[in-house]
Structure 1
Amino acid sequence: MSTRIPIGIVMNGVTGRMGYRQHLVRSILAIRDGGGVPLSDGTVLWPEPVLVGRNEAKLRDLAARHGLTEFTTDLGAALARDDVQIYFDAQVTSEREKAIGLAVAAGRHIYTEKPTATTLHGAVELARAADAAGVKHGVVQDKLFLPGLRKLQRLVDGGFFGRILSVRGEFGYWVFEGDWQAAQRPSWNYRTADGGGIVVDMFPHWHYVLEQLFAPVRAVTAHVTTHIPRRWDERGAAYEATADDSAYGIFELDGGVVAQINSSWAVRVYRDELVEFQVDGTEGSAVAGLRACRVQHRATTPKPVWNPDLPVTDAFRAQWQEVPDNDEYDNGFKAQWEIFLRHVAEDAPYTWDLWSGARGVQLAELGLQSAREGRRVEVPELGR
């Protein structure tokens, strides 16, 4: 039987939707259910979560539900424990910067949701502080691990597209206002003062997707709006939605690639998945979603003719080919957790650090600037 090595993880914000479902249940507890994380020397890393939040009753109930014993509302006490090596943050964005700063000062390795801070200055200062402290740091970039995007990455790596010309992304769904049907997202998402807004939420995602799959972003042009100005919160009280709920962005990448991505919580879905990316190249095209990916090669591309006087007879969707799985795809959050845990335990390679997170915050900040000023904004290199 392999030697089990415990690794303590302070998990802050696990009473929230994302922190609970994806990070605690589907990642850390799933890793434990699977026997831990095997290391190269034959030992097994065993995550020991310490749950942190503001509501002791919720923490106690959550811990009891999953057979856990360690929880507290005192973040400082949790970070001071000798058996803790990692701090994880899934709180609301407005609370994240201060908490990560405390964890860095305590010498804990950092793994966090995004955005890493409410401002670019704050995100950069966190990255610099973590580097200076010598702690390892990572940022959740889960969409890179989605089956559809992993298939898309395989196509890029294999040269399927030839020269990539453009990327078109559609993301979003209708989030109910909360008056006659409960909203699917927490109300703070729609208040600027609480760190809400679709730009600060989604542009960091689009940054790492574009940067990792295609090329660095060099300029952004964005139009941002609040389509639904009045919503109802979790208690049924009406409130003014001060944060943007829709953003329409054009991103210019190295090499002349142009990406257009629409993000909206005020759109009804007429596509196969909640997010889809179409990539067009000189040799072929692909459409990738959360799980599926379809391709059309240059040699099999049909020759449509525009004729508005006759009904369309082409079955356009049927002319695309499904990309096979050719692999087993685990939960994306869990997969990235395992990579980060190996990074901490044995210095295995890891790419997505606080600097990557800061570049995502930078893109969101510049996107909002572009929308305010009605102009194209270049994206400068971040100095360390």
Structure 2
Amino acid sequence: MTRSTVRIAVNGVTGRMGYHQHLVRSLLELRKEGGVDLGDGRRLWPEPVLVGRREPALRSIAERHELPYWATDLDAVLADDTVDVYFDAQATAVRAEALGRAIAAGKHVYTEKPTATGLDSALELVRLARSGGIRHGVVQDKLFLPGLRKLKRLIDAGFFGQILSVRGEFGYWVFEGDWQPAQRPSWNYRGEDGGGITVDMFPHWSYLLESLFGRVTSVMAHAATHVPRRWDERGTPYAATADDAVYAVFEFDGGAVAQINSSWAVRVNRDELVEFQVDGVHGSAVAGLRHCRIQHRTATPRPVWNPDLPGIGNFRDQWQEVPDNQPFEHAFKAQWELFLRHVALGEPYQGDLAAGARGVQLAELGLRSSAEGRRIAVPELTL
């Protein structure tokens, strides 16, 4: 078996997501396995080139993992003809400009979302990538989570019959930063820096809802800043100018409705940090990060509202766990493997920059809906 090297500029590797999920849990794991098996007698060997602004942090990561290539000069990396792919896990506010430079340099691009802070910029990236003939992808990690893959299996098998509604709950309490350090960077709470839970999570809900249930045709949202004062990484108080919670209703082509609450100001009282309940005529399911439980119409109990009588037992106990039935790869690693196969072989890849633009569009319309206090139609994008 022969080995081909693909050199990947990983920008934003000193951040939490860039380091843990993309470098350590994905690219380095693929290297431990000997690279990506292309199925034709070749293996594709990922060679990360670490990119960032903080030289000491980059050097420390490189030494820790015995990676010889790192740089603080992005232009020099993009000018290097041996670099094949540019990956971006930077803060949202600087992402679109860096992606545009990478596309102009002829690099294939793979990126975290949102791809840009506004729809115009996101659409321009699509046009640049298509005219440049490069391959492009956007992270859609939640589609690869075990719980949601089980949910997709149920949908494909026709378990639900006609799907009526989806109810989603996502979030957790992010500490303010004064008496306990915050679990998220402070820029997440400054609108001027590209922060806000709507622009962070609606791109996720866009690809997830579209892939599972169909095109979103309208959105009605209410965004809120529940915690107006926070403390940054240096312990300095600042005003939170971005939303930390958003409550939304989405409609689909087929008439189904999704209601999804997203919040960094909620304490968790559910089995997983994110859960989706899907109700259909023939059955229902509750899917989280790893688990999925079902209740078929033939096993649905007959509750009756009567506060004068005792209940009919623990409702949670009346659901059946969906078995794994197959091994599930780490979500980020699984998508990296698909994207690298797309780069090497041209295999179909649905999570492209156009999908990323639809996520930016949904976030933009969600914030507009909140500001104007009304439901807003989601038009199909002309690309």
TM-score bin (small chain): over 0.9
After TM superposition, the structure 1 stretch with the greater mean CA deviation from structure 2, 301-310 or 89-98, is 301-310
Shift of 1:82: 1.9
Q: Paired residue for 1:332?
A: 331
What does 1:180-329 align with in structure 2 at a 5 Å threshold? 180-329=179-328
**Equivalent position SS for 1:236:** coil
Q: Paired residue for 1:68?
A: 67
Asked if 1:134 is matched to 2:121, the reply is no
Q: Paired residue for 1:91?
A: 90
Alpha-carbon distance in 2 for matches of 1:21, 1:310: 51
**Equivalent position SS for 1:102:** helix
Alpha-carbon distance in 2 for matches of 1:51, 1:127: 25
Shift of 1:81: 1.1
**Equivalent position SS for 1:84:** coil
Alpha-carbon distance in 2 for matches of 1:317, 1:232: 39
What does 1:138-177 align with in structure 2 at a 5 Å threshold? 138-177=137-176
Contact between 2:303 and 2:312, CA under 8 Å: does it hold in 1?
Answer: no
Q: Paired residue for 2:114?
A: 115
After TM superposition, the structure 1 stretch with the greater mean CA deviation from structure 2, 142-151 or 73-82, is 73-82
- Spell out, residue by residue over 1:282-306, the C-alpha distance to the aligned partner (whole angstroms, 9 max, x if none): 0000000000000000011000010
Q: Paired residue for 1:5?
A: 4
Q: Identity, % of aligned pairs?
A: 69
Alpha-carbon distance in 1 for matches of 2:95, 2:275: 29
Alpha-carbon distance in 2 for matches of 1:89, 1:13: 6
Q: What letter is aligned with 1:338? A: E
Alpha-carbon distance in 2 for matches of 1:313, 1:339: 47
Q: What letter is aligned with 1:16? A: G
Alpha-carbon distance in 1 for matches of 2:83, 2:253: 41
Alpha-carbon distance in 2 for matches of 1:311, 1:42: 65
Asked if 1:373 is matched to 2:365, the reply is no
**Equivalent position SS for 2:254:** helix
Alpha-carbon distance in 2 for matches of 1:181, 1:142: 29
Alpha-carbon distance in 2 for matches of 1:96, 1:46: 26
Q: Paired residue for 1:346?
A: 345
- Spell out, residue by residue over 1:322-351, the C-alpha distance to the aligned partner (whole angstroms, 9 max, x if none): 000011011100000000000000111211
Shift of 1:311: 3.6
Alpha-carbon distance in 1 for matches of 2:35, 2:117: 34
Shift of 1:73: 0.6
Q: Paired residue for 1:23?
A: 22
Alpha-carbon distance in 2 for matches of 1:54, 1:192: 22
- Spell out, residue by residue over 1:172-211, the C-alpha distance to the aligned partner (whole angstroms, 9 max, x if none): 0000001101111110000001100000000000011100
- Spell out, residue by residue over 1:227-270, the C-alpha distance to the aligned partner (whole angstroms, 9 max, x if none): 00000111111000000000000000110010000000000000
Alpha-carbon distance in 2 for matches of 1:26, 1:358: 26
Shift of 1:313: 3.6
**Equivalent position SS for 2:178:** coil
Alpha-carbon distance in 1 for matches of 2:334, 2:186: 29
Shift of 1:40: 2.3
Alpha-carbon distance in 2 for matches of 1:137, 1:233: 34
Could you tell me which runs of 5 or more consecutive residues in structure 2 were left unpaired when the two chains were aligned.
none
**Equivalent position SS for 1:252:** strand
Q: What letter is aligned with 1:7? A: V
- Spell out, residue by residue over 1:336-367, the C-alpha distance to the aligned partner (whole angstroms, 9 max, x if none): 00000000001112110000000000000000
| TM-score, normalization by structure 1 | 0.99
Shift of 1:150: 0.1
Shift of 1:372: 0.2
Q: What letter is aligned with 2:23? A: L
Runs of 4+ aligned structure 1 residues displaced above 4 Å come to: none
Alpha-carbon RMSD: 0.6
Alpha-carbon distance in 2 for matches of 1:254, 1:339: 29
Alpha-carbon distance in 2 for matches of 1:176, 1:312: 37
Shift of 1:310: 3.1
**Equivalent position SS for 1:209:** helix
Shift of 1:83: 1.3
**Equivalent position SS for 1:29:** helix
Count of residue pairs the alignment pairs up: 383
Alpha-carbon distance in 2 for matches of 1:150, 1:202: 19
Alpha-carbon distance in 1 for matches of 2:60, 2:375: 50
| TM-score, normalization by structure 2 | 0.99
**Equivalent position SS for 1:62:** helix
Could you tell me which runs of 5 or more consecutive residues in structure 1 were left unpaired when the two chains were aligned.
none
**Equivalent position SS for 2:367:** helix
